[in-house]
Amino acid sequence: MTWEIDYLALAPELVIVVTLLVVLALDLFLTRPNKYWTATAAVAGTALAAIPLVILAVEGENVSMFEGSYVVDEFALVLKGLFVVSAYLVLLLSHHYIESERFYQGEYYFLLLASVLGSLVMASARDLIILFIGLELTTGPLFLLAGWRKGDAKSNEASVKYFILGVLSTAILLWGMSMLYGLTGEITFAGLATATAGLADEPAMIVAVLFVIVGFAFKISAAPFHFWAPDTYEGAPTPVTAYLSVNSKAAGFVAFLLVMYLALPELSEIWAPALWILAAASMTLGNLSALRQSNIVRLLAYSSIAQAGFMLVPFAAAAVAGTNIEEGFSATVIYLVIYALMNVGAFATVIAGANRTATGDIDGWAGLGKIDARLGVLIGIFFFSLAGIPPLAGWFAKFAMFRAVILAGGTATVVLAVIAAVNAVIALYYYARVIKAVWLDDAPAEVPARAETPPSVSLRLALLISAALTIVIGFFPAIATFVGDASRIIAAGG
Amino acid sequence: MTWAEFWIIILRVVLTFGLLLVLTIVNVWLERKVVADMQSRIGPNRAGPYGILQTVADGLKLFFKESVTPRKVELGMYVLAPFLAVVPAFLIFMMVPWGAPFMIGDQEVALQGADLNVGLLFILAMSSMAVYAVVLAGWSSGSKYPLIGGVRATAQAISYEAAMGLAMVAVVMFSATQGDGGTLSLAEIVERQSGTWGDIIPAFEPVARFIPRWNIFPQIVAFLIFLIAIVAETNRAPFDLVEAEQELVGGFHTEYSGMRFAMFFLAEYVNIFSMSAIAATLFLGGWNGPTFEGSVPAIISGILPTVYFLLKTYAIVFLFFWIRATLPRLRYDQLMSLGWKRLIPGALGWLILSTFVIAFRQFGVPWG
Amino acid sequence: MVETIIFVLMGLAAIAGAITVVMARNPVYSAIGLLGTLFAVAVLYVLQLAHFVAAVQVIVYAGAVLTLFLFVIMLIGVDKEENREENLRFQRPVVGVLAGVIVVMAAALTAFGDFDWVPASGAVIPEVTNGTIQAVAEPLFTDWVLAFEATALLLTIAAAGAIALAHYRRRESTDG
C-alpha cells in the first residue's frame, strides 16, 4: 500500500461522522419524551470535534493526503474552526425550537451534522471531486431540512424551490467542472492551475469557467441567481435559515474562492469581470430589496444576499486589477468569518424576538426593547454590527474590505468601491429601521400571549457566545487578522 | 479473430441455447410430475412415455391458438412485453459455465455462452431487466388485475434484488481470497471451487479432504439468502403475488393468450433454471466433481462435469418445486417485511461478518 | 469501422430515446424512451472498453432508478386526464432560444475552436484487456476513498431524510 491516511488530520471529520451515526442510532431506540438526548449528543459531538482542531492548530503541521487532494493547513483549520463554532451555535438555537414544535429530532440533527461534515470536507478539498462531494454533502441535507415544518405550505415551498434550483445549479456546476477536467485532464487544483496557463482566451475554457461561476453563484445566492433565497429563508425553520445563511453560505463561498483562487488563477481574465458583476449586482439588488421588507427573516435574507456582494468585493476588485490578489483573498475570508459569527447572533435574536412577540413582522417588534431590555441590546449589537458600525466586529470586516480595494487600485476597482460605499449607507438605513422599531417605537397596548415563555438556556448560551465574539473581535481585530494571515499562507504555498 | 475462433463462439452459443431450451421443456413436465406426486395425483401421463411430451403438445397447442388482443391494450408495449421477458432470461444463462472446457484440435472450447469479466454484474443487470416485461405487460393490458400484478412485481423485484446482490457480494469477496485477486467471472469463480478443503485447512486434513471446496460451506448464510431471493426474483410460490390466482385472476398475463402467453411461460421456466444454475455455480462448485480421469474412457470424464452441473442445478430446481408444493403464499406486507426487515439486514450483517473474518485472516489483528 | 457503425447507431438510438422522453404524451413511453437511451449509452461504454461502467449503468439506472419511475407513474395512475395547461406561456420560446444558443455555441466551438491544446485530444486509449473492474476499484479505494465514503453518507442522508419528510405520524404522542 503506497497511500496513507493521517487519522489525526481527519479527526474532526471522523468525530462528526461518529456523532451523526450515534445520533441516528439513538433516535432509533429513544422514545419521544427522551428524544432530546439526540440534541445533547449532537451538541457534545460538535464540541468534541473542536478538540482535534485545536491540537492540529497547535502542532501547526501541514498535512497533505490522497495525492494532494486533501490538505489540512492553517487556512483549512481556520475555516473548519469557523464551521464547527457556527454549527455549535446553530445547534444551540435548534434545540428548543425543534423540541417545542414537535419536529422529528433525531433526523434533524443527523442531517444538520451531515451538512457540517460536508463543509469540513470542503475546507480541506483541493481537487474538484472532493470539493464537489463536500458541497453536495453540505447542501443536500438542507433541501430536506428546509421542508422540516411539514404541515406548513411555506416550508414546503421553501424546500421545493431550494431543491429544484439547487439541483439545477449542481448540474450547471458539474457540467462546468466536467468540461474543465475534459479540457485539461487534471482534477487537482494544483494540476489545473498549471494546465490552464495561457488558455484564458480559448472559447471552450470561457464556457467552462462561466458554467462553474453560475453554478457557484446559485449556491451562494449571489444576484442575479439569488431569487430562491428569500422564499427559502422565510419558509424554512428559523434555525435552518440561520444555518443556510451562515454555514452553508460560507461553505459555498469557500468552495467558490478555492476553485477560482487555487485552481484557475491563470484564467482570472475570465472570472474576474464576472465576479465584479456578481459583487456589484448582489450588493445593489440585495440592499434595495431589503429596504422594502416588512418581515424580519426576509430582511435578513436580502441582507445576506447583499453581504455576499460585500464579501466578493475585495477579491473581485483585486482580481480585476490584477494586483495584491492575496490581500483581496484574505480580506474576503476575514469578512466571511466575521459575517458568519454576527449573522448567527442576528438569527438568534430573531428566534428570541419571535418567541417574545409571536410575530416575525418588524412592526410587531415595536417597543421590544422596553419589554425586554437585554434582548433589545443584543438586537442592537448584531444589527449595528451587520451595518458595520464601530466598535463592533462588522466594522473591521468592512475596513478590511475597503483596505484591500484601495490596495488593488485601478478604475474598475474604484467604481466598485463607490458602489460598495453607497450600499453600506443603504444597508445602515434598513438595519437601523429594525433597531428603531425595537427601541424608539411604542409598544402595542396589549402584550402578546407568548410573551411569558423565557428563552431557553441553549438559546441564551448561543446569544452570549455570538455577542461576545462580535464585541471582542470588534475591539481586538488582531484575532481576525490571524484569519487573514492564514489565508495569505495558502496564497503563497498553495 | 480467426475463423476457427468465430465458429467456436457460434458453437458455444448454439450449444448453450439448445441445452437451455431442451431442459426447459423437460422442466415444465418435471414440475407437473413432481407437484402431482406431492399432492398424490398422477400428473401428465398421456403424451409420450410418462407424459414427457406433454410440454411439446402444450406448446404446439398454444402456438396454433388465436392470440386474442383485447381492445383497450396499448398495442406497442403489449407486443413488446413478451419479448422483454424472454430475451433477458436467455441472456442470463449465457454466463453460466455448464461443463469443463474441452479441446477441438488446438482450440479450447469453454462450455459457456460467454465469459465476461463482469459476468456476475451482467447477470444482475439482466435479472433486473426481467421486471420490465412484467410491469409493461401489466400496464399495457389496460385492465385492473394485470396492473396490480405489475405494480407488485416492481416493488418485489427491487426489494429482493438488493438481498440477492448483497449475498453475491459476500461470495465474491470470499472467492477473492481463494485465488489471485477478486473476480466477477463465473468461469473463474467455478475454477476456484475445485479440489477439497483439505488443501486449505491442513489442521483438519483427514476430515476436510472429503469436503469439496464449495463456497456453500463458508458462505452458508449467503446461500440461504440467495436462495430465498431467487425464488422471489422469479416470482415463484410462495412469492408469486404477481400472479396470485385467487386475487388477480392470472396476474400480469391475464390478458395474454396464445403464443404471447407461451413466451411468458417459457421465460418463467428459463429463469428458474438459470437462477438455479447460478446458485449451483456460485455456491455448489458448478461443474466441479471427481472425473476419474485416466481410469475411465475420456468421453465419460469429459461428460461427467456437465452431469455434475446438472445434478446440482436440478437439486435446486427440485427445491423450487418442493417449496411451491408445500408453502402457502405470503401476504403482501409479509413479503415486504421479510425482504426489507429480515433479508437485507441479514445479508448486510453477514457481509460485515465475512468482511471481518476475511480481513482478519489476511492482515491479522489490527493491534498485532 | 465496426466501431464507427456501432457508435453511430447507438448515438442515434440514444437521441431517439431522449426525444421520446420529451415528446411522448404518455409518461410510460417516456420512461421506456429513457430506458432505450440508457441502454444505448451502456453500449457506448462497452465500446470504450468500460465494461464495468456499462454493467453498473444498466443495474443502477435501468434496473433500479427507472423501475422506480415506472412504479411511481403507475401508482399515480397514468390514465387520469392531466392538466396540460402551461402557466408560463413564454417558457417554450425561451427554452427554444436557449437551446438554439447552446447548439450555436457548440457548433462555433467545434468549428472555430482549435483543440490542439487539449491534452487528451490526440491520445491513444491504452488497450485494456483484463477487466476494467480492477482499474476502477483500485483508485476508488485508495486515492478517492474519502470521496467514496462521503458519497455513501450522501446516500444515507437521502434515504433517511426522504423517509422523515414523507412519513406522517398518525398519533403525535405515541409514535417515535
CB contact under 8 Å between C55 and B181, yes or no, is: no
Whether A275 is in a domain gets the answer yes
List, for chain A, all residue ranges whose pLDDT scores fall below the cut of 50: 1-2, 493-494
C141 touches chain B (CB under 8 A): no
State the pLDDT at residue C79: 56
CB contact under 8 Å between C63 and B184, yes or no, is: no
Regarding chains C and B, contact by 3 or more CB pairs under 8 A is answered as yes
Which residues are bridge partners to B103 per DSSP? B108
Taking the CB of residue A62, how many other CB atoms lie within 10 A of it? Answer: 16
Whether B211 is in a domain gets the answer yes
Residues of chain A contacting C108 with CB distance shorter than 8 Å: 203
Number of domains within chain B: 1
State the pLDDT at residue B147: 83
* Distance separating alpha carbons of residues C87 and C91, to the nearest angstrom: 9
Write the residue in B117, B135, B154 that is nearest to C133 by C-beta.
Answer: B117
CB contact under 8 Å between B121 and C28, yes or no, is: no
* Distance separating alpha carbons of residues B256 and B80, to the nearest angstrom: 12
Nearest CA in chain A to C173: A32
Q: How confident is the model at residue C80 (pLDDT cuts 50, 70, 90)?
A: low
Whether A167 is in a domain gets the answer no
Distance from CA of C120 to the nearest CA of B (A): 27
| R_g (Cα) of chain A, nearest Å | 21
In this prediction the ipTM stands at 0.82
Nearest CA in chain C to A65: C143
Write the residue in A102, A140, A184 that is nearest to C154 by C-beta.
Answer: A140
Nearest CA in chain A to C149: A133
* Distance separating alpha carbons of residues A162 and A315, to the nearest angstrom: 27
- Determine the residue type at B336: M
Number of Cβ pairs < 8 A linking chain B and chain C? 77
**Mean pLDDT of each 10-residue bin along chain B, 368 residues long:** 79 86 86 86 82 83 82 82 88 85 75 80 86 84 82 82 88 82 81 77 74 82 90 83 72 80 86 89 83 78 84 89 86 86 91 88 73
Mutate to test the interface with C, among A183, A188, A206 (most CBs of C within 10 A): A183
Nearest CA in chain B to C58: B125
Helix (H) or strand (E) holding B109: strand B107-111
User: Cβ(A181)–Cβ(A208) under 8 Å?
Assistant: no
Whether B238 is in a domain gets the answer yes
Regarding chains A and C, contact by 3 or more CB pairs under 8 A is answered as yes
User: Cβ(A315)–Cβ(A327) under 8 Å?
Assistant: no
Q: Range of A463's domain?
A: 268-494
* Residue B109 backbone dihedrals phi, psi, to 5 degrees: -110, 115
**Cβ contacts of residue C97 below 8 Å, gap of 6+?**
none
Whether A149 is in a domain gets the answer no
Q: Range of B219's domain?
A: 68-363
Whether B5 is in a domain gets the answer no
Write the residue in A1, A111, A137 that is nearest to C150 by C-beta.
Answer: A137
Distance from CA of B8 to the nearest CA of C (A): 20
Whether A325 is in a domain gets the answer yes
* Distance separating alpha carbons of residues C96 and A460, to the nearest angstrom: 54
> In the 8-state DSSP scheme, what is residue C127?
P
Mutate to test the interface with C, among B72, B77, B118 (most CBs of C within 10 A): B118
C55 touches chain B (CB under 8 A): yes
Cis bond upstream, residue B49 (ω within 30): no
State the pLDDT at residue C9: 92
Number of domains within chain A: 1
